[in-house]
Structure 1
Amino acid sequence: MAIRPGSAGAQRLDDPSQSGLLMRLHIDAPLLVGLLLLCAFGLVVLFSATDQDAGAVERQLVRLTLAFGLMFAVAQVHPYQLRRWSLPLYALGVLMLVATLLIGDVGKGAQRWLDLGVLRFQPSEMLKLAVPMTVAWVLADRSLPPRLGRVLAATVLILIPVVLIAKQPDLGTAILVAAAGVTVLFIGGLSWRVILLVGAAAAALAPLLWYRLHDYQRQRVLTFLDPSSDPLGTGYHIIQSQIAIGSGGLHGKGWLLGTQSHLEFLPEHHTDFIFAVIGEEFGLTGILVLLALYVFIIYRGLSIAVDAPDTYGKVLAGGLSLVFFVYVFVNTGMVTGLLPVVGVPLPLISYGGTSMVTLMVGFGMLMAIQTHRK
């Protein structure tokens, strides 16, 4: 599925539809509107999910302000510079992952954080951006679809951070980093024959990978297959989430009137399982509104990819857009019981700032690709 140049890619900067203050500030108006609507909806839901904790909403608003500020800052960077920084950022990220495994902070049985004294952060978040940037760099200025040598080189670059992150262990982030790299390859025109071959190889290796998983990871898979096998233990999250979503019906119980979350039946209802709160309080109608906002943002990102003037911009923009889709798909699939629980937040809705900042920096790259056309 290669995104190929079209007549839209030659769009001029002096086109009236692309002129004005926003264009001079390197801001894509449709994408900005979609993000603002999504974040506003998220704050409304979060107020209910946190039991009307205004302080939590204010802290989330501060995080959003910082994230939007970073998005605007990244949007000012020319894609040529993004391309130059791809490999150095990747190398720095991998080095920090190695340092995390050696001297990183341990919390809740995982070694994921690097403490630099004045700053404590999770290096794996950097790789969510550095990996697609580097894979796009590998594919840039070369014919598409990529030849086998390029595919193998990109695969190695993807696997190195994925293995390091999985060792922390952080399976959810490892999956997202792998998806970030693979989607860029897919956008670059990776043939279906190669995709099917990799899928068959993964299926053949599944029994071996099973024994490499930690006990809690294997339990998550078993719970996914049969949540009722341990309804008060590992299956509790999924069962309560499904009850919450199902009880919402078509129009929901009403804002602030959810019982599963407010009576503490639903765990993690303001973070990973906030999608269940939306289903309970706003019903199917609210879920469809949320999904429509996600679809609009993804569509806009893919449109930017189609219009990009060069290969690097096309595959990077397409990859970042599909990575956002993977975030949405994994979280909603996890909350509804269609996928195992892997601890992936609902993009720009769940409480927290680390993932939000990473996503908004990615949207800044999309705006940079769209607005720097010379």
Structure 2
Amino acid sequence: MSAVIDKPPLWQRLAPMVSGFDGPLAFAIFLLACAGLLTMYSSGYDHGTRFADHSRNMVLAGVILFVVAQVPPQRLMSLAVPLYTLGVALLIAVAVFGVTKKGARRWLNIGVVIQPSEILKIAMPLMLAWWFQKREGQLRPLDFVVAGVLLAVPVGLIVKQPDLGTAILVLAAGMSVIFFAGLSWKLIVPPVVIGLTAAVLLVAFEGRLCADGVRWPVLHDYQQQRICTLLDPGKDPLGKGFHIIQGMIAIGSGGVLGKGFMQGTQTHLEFIPERTTDFIFAAFSEEFGLVGTLCLIGGFSFLLLRGLAIALEASSLFARLLAGSITMIFFTYAFVNMGMVTGILPVVGVPLPFISYGGTAMATLGMGLGMLMSIAKTKRLVQT
């Protein structure tokens, strides 16, 4: 009778929830999370409650990861259309009666203030993966056109807000799905060649294009200024170019081994702007130097390679496309953030995963990693 009444220990009840978790992926997440906490403590210990809030956000992201990892890919696929539709509807609502701050209309007040564009970072790859799963075995050129339209609608709405950083992330997520679905190289090479040519011409004619009074079509004035500042930050060292110059000084002053934990002078004397958010990579590089930076890049590289391996081994087209896209989102986050801090890309406000402060971004990343873990978990349980 007692055997019937007695409940199994807690660890036995939790075991099925963690069984099948991908060990290498979990290890990569753990290492990057430790690096994030270490860096945030150094750069934000005297910055209000940043370290405590970052720790809380990381725990929240871990809970989201654990919960989402319990949802099988088939169930995730059923959420694709509703989540995408909701996200686009909210973006339209933002365009009509959104909250405007600092000249940008990106938020919506529904009792609490939310930023709907964050939803599309996950909804976009879900939707396109669902679309190509439905067309599996009968793909036509028209299907890629439809996928392009599905991607262009939210990206266009986000650019209009304007929020170039989020638009880049959503575009990268969608384009990676389209690429992994089998987009022909004949359609990929021409835009790449045009983009590289435009970049070369921009550098060659920077003096004329960035002269006073010259206005570029399509881009907002502040976006034009960011590009011109990237090309020559010395033109306005105490204004528009201050962020880039101070970031590069901090990175260079770290040398090979860095100045040591909590010893970064550029960081703690507050020369680095946004030292706990967009430019935290400069603070990290100053204190841990080239060796620490290479270790951080190695951690991200390991996470990316493991994500691509999970995508390659996934059991369905939907799971492969979703896993590949989520992995490329992390690559885009890291590449764009490091690029803008080191002065090779314009400043667009993209955080560094695990390292930068930000609750919404951390929750989104936790959700993406949960989906990746779910795909890996399902594959392992099928094999056993």
Same fold (TM over 0.5): yes
Q: How many angstroms apart in 2 are the aligned matches of 1:30 and 1:300?
A: 7
- Report the counterpart of residue 139 of structure 1 in structure 2: 132
- Report the counterpart of residue 51 of structure 2 in structure 1: 57
Q: Which amino acid aligns with 1:232?
A: L
- Report the counterpart of residue 351 of structure 1 in structure 2: 357
- Report the counterpart of residue 122 of structure 2 in structure 1: 129
- Report the counterpart of residue 79 of structure 2 in structure 1: 85
Report the structure number with the largest CA radius of gyration.
2
Partner SS state of residue 349, structure 1: coil
Partner SS state of residue 331, structure 1: helix
Number of aligned pairs? 353
Query: Does the 8 A contact of 2:45 with 2:51 survive in 1?
Result: no
Q: How many angstroms apart in 2 are the aligned matches of 1:276 and 1:312?
A: 38
How do residues 1-374 of structure 1 correspond to structure 2 at under 5 angstroms? Answer: 21=15, 24-25=18-19, 27-53=21-47, 55-117=49-111, 119-143=112-136, 146-199=139-192, 210-373=216-379, 374=382
Q: Kindly provide the CA deviation profile for residues 30-51 of structure 1, in whole angstroms up to 9, marking residues without a partner as x.
A: 2122112111111111111114
- Report the counterpart of residue 14 of structure 1 in structure 2: none
| RMSD over equivalenced CA pairs, Å | 2.2
Partner SS state of residue 252, structure 1: coil
Q: Which amino acid aligns with 2:178?
A: L
Q: Which amino acid aligns with 1:228?
A: G
Q: What's the % identity of the aligned pairs?
A: 49
Per-residue deviation, 1:268: 0.6
Structure 1, unpaired ranges of 5+: 1-19
Query: Does the 8 A contact of 1:270 with 1:351 survive in 2?
Result: yes
Residue 244 to residue 82, structure 1, CA distance change in 2 (3 Å):
same
Query: Does the 8 A contact of 2:21 with 2:377 survive in 1?
Result: yes
Residue 277 to residue 135, structure 1, CA distance change in 2 (3 Å):
same
Q: How many angstroms apart in 2 are the aligned matches of 1:301 and 1:145?
A: 27
Partner SS state of residue 79, structure 2: helix
Partner SS state of residue 270, structure 2: coil
- Report the counterpart of residue 4 of structure 1 in structure 2: none
Partner SS state of residue 106, structure 1: strand
Q: How many angstroms apart in 1 are the aligned matches of 2:316 and 2:78?
A: 14
Q: Which amino acid aligns with 1:76?
A: Q
Residue 243 to residue 178, structure 1, CA distance change in 2 (3 Å):
same
Query: Does the 8 A contact of 2:33 with 2:354 survive in 1?
Result: yes
Partner SS state of residue 162, structure 2: coil
> Normalising to structure 1: TM-score of the pair?
0.89
Q: How many angstroms apart in 2 are the aligned matches of 1:79 and 1:161?
A: 24
Q: Kindly provide the CA deviation profile for residues 113-148 of structure 1, in whole angstroms up to 9, marking residues without a partner as x.
A: 11111x321100000011111111111154579531
Q: How many angstroms apart in 1 are the aligned matches of 2:73 and 2:135?
A: 17
Return 42-51 or 314-323, whichever deviates more. Answer: 42-51
Per-residue deviation, 1:85: 1.1
> Normalising to structure 2: TM-score of the pair?
0.87
Per-residue deviation, 1:54: 7.7
Per-residue deviation, 1:214: 1.0
Return 49-58 or 214-223, whichever deviates more. Answer: 49-58
Q: How many angstroms apart in 1 are the aligned matches of 2:311 and 2:147?
A: 20
